[in-house]
């Protein structure tokens, strides 16, 4: 997996440090993980297969497996050190948890033999590609491997829509950092790299704005595309696949 920015996902030491910081923040992510689960278009006792794109050490997969006792999660990632940790986290779930090592830039990154999928989820991964054209292709590839009635939910980092809003968001982020101290700084370091100055952390360097992401999802063929949650430059977006011959949202339970 080619290194695209300051993150070094192939490095055992870097991943060890990153995961330690991220796990300290995991309780704060539970509400969003729950929202993602609540948006899934199937009941809790459904037998379903969910693809976790850029799953890392597997926190989203674990959250789903705990709440959907008949679900199987496929944790896809390009980092061997991450997937080693994911396998540890997923071990209690036996056959319900599988990993798939692949680079999102490879044409055959999708574990097609395990699909088609009832849902795909992704958490703070795709901005790492630093390539919105590839990100948009991945939306199309995911759409093509979802079952009718399925969904793709993607929480990721986005650019502010204007320079003025970027400044405003930076000011809000600074105020939060001042109020919450080290925890918020830890979060910045996870997203932007440990030891990087705060002004770098607020540079608009993500691949696209919310509007561009929503347009790319619609262009990929998703229906009922929306932003389900947003906080400054973090957003949870997604779209559904129509059930054959009917509107997708009509069949959500
Ligand atoms: C910020 S971490 C998020 C991990 C996990 N989803 C979470 O929410 O904690 C981003 C993940 O994307 C993966 N990733 C980045 N670029 C990738 C690529 N080109 N192919 C596959 N995985 C990639 C990294 O290995 C890393 O595990």
pLDDT at 200: 39
Dihedral sign, Cα of residue 56, residue 59, residue 65, residue 71:
negative
Specify if 2 maps to a domain: no
Question: Ligand 1 centroid to 178 CA: how many Å?
Answer: 29
Q: Are residues 129 and 29 in the same domain?
A: yes
Q: Please check whether residue 10 is in contact with residue 81, taking contact to mean a CB–CB distance below 8 angstroms.
A: yes
pLDDT at 87: 98
Give how many domains the chain has, as a whole number.
2
- Whether ligand 1 lies within 6 angstroms of the CB of 22 is answered as yes
Specify if 3 maps to a domain: no
Specify if 99 maps to a domain: yes
Q: Are residues 29 and 71 in the same domain?
A: yes
Ligand 1 pocket: which of 3, 9, 16, 22 to mutate (most atoms <8 Å of CB)?
9
Q: Are residues 170 and 58 in the same domain?
A: no
Specify if 198 maps to a domain: yes
Specify if 235 maps to a domain: yes
Q: Are residues 212 and 104 in the same domain?
A: yes
Specify if 246 maps to a domain: yes
pLDDT at 205: 83
Q: Are residues 145 and 172 in the same domain?
A: no
Q: Are residues 105 and 200 in the same domain?
A: no
Specify if 56 maps to a domain: yes
pLDDT at 226: 98
Q: Are residues 86 and 192 in the same domain?
A: no
Peptide bond into 116 cis (omega under 30): yes
* DSSP string computed for 153-221: EEEEE-B-SSHHHHHHHHHHHHHHHHHHTHHHHHHHHHHH-TT--HHHHTS--SS-BHHHHHHHHHHTT
Domain carrying residue 187: 161-204
Residue 245: HSE in the Cβ half-sphere, 13 Å Cα cutoff: 0
Question: Ligand 1 centroid to 243 CA: how many Å?
Answer: 30
- Whether ligand 1 lies within 6 angstroms of the CB of 154 is answered as no
Question: Ligand 1 centroid to 21 CA: how many Å?
Answer: 15
pLDDT at 222: 98
- Whether ligand 1 lies within 6 angstroms of the CB of 55 is answered as yes
Ligand 1 pocket: which of 24, 54, 103 to mutate (most atoms <8 Å of CB)?
54
Q: Please check whether residue 64 is in contact with residue 37, taking contact to mean a CB–CB distance below 8 angstroms.
A: yes
CATH code (residue 234): 3.40.50.150
Q: Please check whether residue 205 is in contact with residue 195, taking contact to mean a CB–CB distance below 8 angstroms.
A: no
What does DSSP say about strands 234-240 and 223-231: parallel, antiparallel, or unpaired? antiparallel
Specify if 91 maps to a domain: yes
pLDDT at 248: 45
Q: Locate tokens 């060890």: which residue?
A: 16
- Whether ligand 1 lies within 6 angstroms of the CB of 25 is answered as no
Atom of ligand 1 nearest to the CA of 190: 1
pLDDT at 3: 81
Rounded CA Rg of the chain: 18
Ligand 1 pocket: which of 77, 85, 110, 190 to mutate (most atoms <8 Å of CB)?
77
Which residues are CB-contacts of 143 (< 8 A; sequence separation ≥ 6)? 152, 220, 221, 222, 241
Q: What is the pTM of this model?
A: 0.91
Q: Give the Cβ contact number of residue 48 at 10 Å.
A: 20
Q: Please check whether residue 53 is in contact with residue 142, taking contact to mean a CB–CB distance below 8 angstroms.
A: yes
Read off the tokens for 187: 């979060």
Q: Are residues 108 and 190 in the same domain?
A: no
pLDDT tens string, the chain, 253 residues long: the values are 888 878 999 999 999 999 999 999 899 999 999 999 999 999 999 999 999 999 999 999 999 999 999 999 999 999 999 999 999 999 999 999 999 999 999 999 999 999 999 999 999 999 999 999 999 999 999 999 999 999 999 999 999 999 999 999 999 999 999 998 755 444 554 554 443 434 334 456 899 999 999 999 999 999 999 999 999 999 999 999 999 855 444 444 3
């Amino acid at each position: 997996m080619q290194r695209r920015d300051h993150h070094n996902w192939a490095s055992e030491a870097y991943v060890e440090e990153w995961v330690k910081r991220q796990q300290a923040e995991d309780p704060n992510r539970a509400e969003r993980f729950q929202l993602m689960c609540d948006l899934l278009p199937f009941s809790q006792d459904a037998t379903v297969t969910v693809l976790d794109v850029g799953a890392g050490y597997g926190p989203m997969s674990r959250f789903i497996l705990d709440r959907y006792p008949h679900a199987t999660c496929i944790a896809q990632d390009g980092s061997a050190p991450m997937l080693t940790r994911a396998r540890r986290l997923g071990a209690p779930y036996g056959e319900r948890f599988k990993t798939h090592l692949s680079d999102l830039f490879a044409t055959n990154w999708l574990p097609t033999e395990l699909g088609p999928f009832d849902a795909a989820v992704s958490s703070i991964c795709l901005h790492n590609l630093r390539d919105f054209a590839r990100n948009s292709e991945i939306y199309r590839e995911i759409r093509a491997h979802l079952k009718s009635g399925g969904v793709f939910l993607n929480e990721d980092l986005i650019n502010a829509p204007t320079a003025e809003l970027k400044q405003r968001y930076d000011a809000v982020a600074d105020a939060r950092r001042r109020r919450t101290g080290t925890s918020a700084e830890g979060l910045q370091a996870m997203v932007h790299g440990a030891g990087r100055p705060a002004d770098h952390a607020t540079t608009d360097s993500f691949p696209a704005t919310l509007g561009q992401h929503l347009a790319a999802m619609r262009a990929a063929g998703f229906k009922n595309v929306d932003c389900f949650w947003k906080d400054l430059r973090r957003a949870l977006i997604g779209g559904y696949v129509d059930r054959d011959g009917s509107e997708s949202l009509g069949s959500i339970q």
